[in-house]
């Protein structure tokens, strides 16, 4: 199982792709987490980085997508890349479209590599209950995430969130949180992971993702 969990910076993405057992030629970008946000400049940044890495790129919005469409798309790519925005809204449509079980199975089997930034990284957690916020428009009956990792990513740790994250960690001492900054990424290989620098190569020119 291979995963790249970013916060913002994608400077480490190309090197991570080179480390995969088989470097993907095609990728699908999932922008759904930003659907209820007025401007999503991070999606354009991701598209530029992915195409700059030589990937043939398609885009799939999970809002309105059927399980059949999702499965067909995943069958023809080697990498799925999920961008940021509202994590619970993303989770709603990831479950409704069948994306969660399809990606979980394909990534766990090594048929697909996963990259997620911000909300896309959060989606890999075992559960997303702790990521609920009043301004997230998502509506879900259950909060199970992809479960690709055993820890809970805390992204954007450098954006004045230190106290908030410290309170969260103190309130849940049995939960394995991993906090990391916008210029870092968590690299996951099987059941092991490590943080590495991941430079912000293209600063955002608009609003930041909520998660």
Residue 101 lies in a domain: yes
- Tell me the β-bridge partners of 192: 189
Residue 77 domain flag: yes
Residue 118 annotated in active site: yes
Residue 70 lies in a domain: yes
How many distinct structural domains can be found in the chain?
1
SS3 assignment, position 71 = helix
Q: For residue 54, what is the domain's CATH number?
A: 3.40.50.880
Domain membership flag for residue 59: yes
- What pTM does this model have? 0.95
pLDDT of residue 202: 73
Range of the domain at 36: 2-197
| pLDDT-derived band at 201, boundaries 50, 70, 90 | confident
Q: Which of 180, 66, 40 is nearest to 121 (CA)?
A: 180
Phi, psi dihedrals of residue 179, rounded to the nearest 5°: -95, 135
At 100-126, the pLDDT tens digits run: 999 999 999 999 999 999 999 999 999
Active-site position among 118, 181, 191, 194: 118
Q: Catalytic residue at 156?
A: yes
Instruction: Calculate the average pLDDT of the chain.
Output: 95
Q: Is the pLDDT of residue 204 over 70?
A: no
Could you read off the pLDDT of 130-171 as tens digits, one per residue? Answer: 999 999 999 999 999 999 999 999 999 999 899 999 999 999
Please report whether residue 210 resides in a domain.
no
Tell me whether residue 10 is exposed, middle or buried, using C-beta atoms within 10 angstroms of its C-beta: 0 to 12, 13 to 18, 19 or more.
buried
Does 23 map to a domain?
yes
Q: 156, 172, 198, 205: which one is catalytic?
A: 156
């Amino acid at each position: 199982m291979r995963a790249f969990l970013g916060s913002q910076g994608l400077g480490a993405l190309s090197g991570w792709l080179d480390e995969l057992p088989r470097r993907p030629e095609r990728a699908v970008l999932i922008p759904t987490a930003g659907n209820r946000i007025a401007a999503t400049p991070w999606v354009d940044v991701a598209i530029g980085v992915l195409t700059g890495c030589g990937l043939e790129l398609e885009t799939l919005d999970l809002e309105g997508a059927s399980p059949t469409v999702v499965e067909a798309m995943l069958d023809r790519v080697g990498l799925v890349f999920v961008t940021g925005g509202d994590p619970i809204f993303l989770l709603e449509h990831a479950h409704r479209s069948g994306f969660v079980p399809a990606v979980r199975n394909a990534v766990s089997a090594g048929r697909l590599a996963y990259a997620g930034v911000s909300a896309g990284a959060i989606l890999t957690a075992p559960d997303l209950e702790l990521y609920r916020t009043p301004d997230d428009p998502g509506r879900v009956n259950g909060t199970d995430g992809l479960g690709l990792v055993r820890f809970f990513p805390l992204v954007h740790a450098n954006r004045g969130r230190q106290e908030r994250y410290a309170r969260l960690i103190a309130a849940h001492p049995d939960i394995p949180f991993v906090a990391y900054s916008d210029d870092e990424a968590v690299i996951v290989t099987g059941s092991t992971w490590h943080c590495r620098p991941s430079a912000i190569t293209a600063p955002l020119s608009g609003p930041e993702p909520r998660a």
